[in-house]
A and B are shown apart, each in its own frame.
Chain A
Amino acid sequence: MRIHFKTSYEHDIRLFPDWWTFFVYATLIVVAVLLPWIMDDFYLGEVTNVLIWAIAGLGLMLLTGQTGQASLGHAAFLAVGCYSCVIFMEQGLPFLIAFPAAGILTGIVGTIIAIPAVRLHGIYLAIATIALSILTDDLIVLMEPITDGVSGKFAPMITIFGIEIERWTTPDRFYWLVLAITIICTLIYRNLLRSPLGRAFAAVRDSEVSATAMGVHIARTKAASFGISCGITGLAGALMGFYAGAFNNETFSIVISITLLMMIVIGGLGSIHGAFFGAVVVAYLPQFLSIAKDAIGGGGVAIPGLETGVFGAILILFILFEPMGIYGRWMKIRIWFELFPFARKDMFKRQKSYLKTERLR
């Protein structure tokens, strides 16, 4: 059992609470870097997919898990990131400039959209973002001179300092690129939480009235959260474009938005781990289902809606029985072992809460 005895504020905001934690994450990174020599190309591609979804999940997690604003329209920002990155590269910009520029552009677009959106409360924000997600599909078709509309675009070759990176010919290089971006995004996220802005996010999530009383500017904080969230999501969108190779107006549909939100709920709202756990579920569920179908003999028959149906059922079970998601369950198991034999069932009891109307605010 490890005891964290905090004697100063420094102890509270350290990146790693102790050397053991640091060691665990360092080992994880080393294993992740060595992965191309351990796995064959197919599974490496799958892991790359998980990492890309995890980045997108981090983006949405910042908004939903940290600031408490549900968005059902993040596929729109995936699309903005994807299209802007590819268009920048077609204009001759190198990847190293085009990629961050795409993220920043998406962040700016997100902030502009956030300015009216932050006036909206919970449900209304979700509705506005749904409308946004539906509009994106049509807007891409309407902006055909730039986006090539229905026929779609092809992702160009990535070149960094003369090294060529492509999803199919050099999957290991593409994997390392995605891994590096994942680590950078995670560090940004983790550091953000330790900053005053991150604390303001949590304050807005927990109680807007209290946050205002503590001197947090609600609208500005929400807009910042929206912007940063969209920026990270835009980066993930660009990577998704490179991963898929080709994309058009239907690639980033509203189903992707909903999947993204469900993913972070299954993973565990409000934790970095949750984004990764959720991404694993989302990326491997189709494979798992096809293997399961083979096992019961229904092999070649495609059942429409099966994937989303099963995904929905899993989500319902999670919301009912483990609202903190996979990460919450993992924490409970870990604490049970750490405190053995002193863990008690009531330690995780949820506080009773009662709903009041939002119509009187």
Chain B
Amino acid sequence: MEVLQLLVSGLANGCVYGLIALGFVLIYKATEAVNFAQGDFMMLGAFVTLGLTNAHYMGLPFWVAAPMAIAIMAVLGYLLDFFVLRHLFGQSQTAVVILTIALGFVIRFIAGAIWGHEPQTLESPLALGDIRLGGVVLGMADVAVIVVTVLLTIFLYQFFQRTKLGLAMQAASQNQMAAYFMGVPVKRVQGMIWGLSGAVAAVAGILFASKGAIDPNAGLLGIKAFAAAVIGGFGSLPGALAGGLIVGVIEPFASRYLAAGYSQIAPYALLLFVLVFRPHGLFSQVRTKKV
């Protein structure tokens, strides 16, 4: 029973990692860049929702505030691409990596300046109540996280495989110049993907805030989500979710069964292990090009 309880709480945590990892993978799939600020996006999304919902700030009803926050984050993501990242068009990945790390610092500072550095809780209807299933206690928030994550992953997967826009995004990442010649508006497509990942980050933020308190440093969770994305293989949406679940499940088990000190390094040790033996993740997409 204890194992089952650990497994369930691990799965719920893992889904949050998976959601942030989805944001990483979306941007990687479409622009071949890695957004190191994705965790901070998540934090910002949570704080925007909190600012709209909590009685202390705006006091809007949650079901109005949540879509608003998602829309705000989507617009923010698009504007970020429009004003900042578009100038880096065609430059090396390293430049984007460094830029987004710096962006993360700036977002963290701004969020701290607006909402303060004290941990706050979101007044969310998801946070209320537990479900008991034969001895296993499930928080409503945990159930919501798992359901939303699975639905979102299926939706995004279908979006990339089936729709014209999704295919255009994949084409734009594989070869910018060729995609441009085929009539794909590469720059606008990239802006859209940043908007989409902003929306996903907002969803992750709302769910994360429903599970517990948030503060401006919550964005550092992004590093764990990062491990999740890598373990799943960057560029694969189901892989990101699987990676998130693996990291999420490993954590409670490691802290239960391993000595203190060894438990918190378990996700990173796994990350290094995967990188050494399967350098491109479990769901690898790399094929060697023949010259």
Contacts and interface: CB of A to CB of B under 8 A. Distances in A.
Contacts of A130: 223, 226
Interface string A341-356: 0000000000011111
Contact of A356 (B99, B101, B176): B176
For the complex, would chain B's binding face be called helix, strand, loop or mixed by DSSP majority?
helix
11 contacts: A64-B94, A116-B276, A123-B234, A128-B275, A134-B265, A135-B272, A141-B261, A303-B113, A309-B105, A309-B106, A311-B102
For the complex, would chain A's binding face be called helix, strand, loop or mixed by DSSP majority?
helix
Given A126-B97, A142-B261, A209-B291, A120 B275 contact: yes
A17 interface: no
Contacts of A139: 265
A361 B105 contact: no
Nearest to B104: A312
A134 B275 CA distance: 15
B101 A123 contact: no
A70 interface: yes
A312 B106 contact: yes
B34 A123 contact: yes
Interface stretch (A79-87, A186-194, A313-321, A327-335): A313-321
Contacts of B275: 116, 120, 124, 127-128, 131
Given A116-B275, A354-B177, A313 B262 contact: no
Contacts of A132: 272
A319 B189 CA distance: 22
Contacts of A304: 112, 117
A130 B223 CA distance: 8
Given A122-B93, A306-B109, A128 B32 contact: no
B227 A262 contact: no
Contacts of B104: 312
Contact of B230 (A116, A124, A134, A316): A124
Contacts of A354: 90, 175-177
B291 to A, nearest CB: 7
Given A316-B106, A354-B176, A124 B279 contact: yes
A116 B272 CA distance: 10
A3 B106 CA distance: 45
A64 B93 CA distance: 13
A311 B108 CA distance: 12
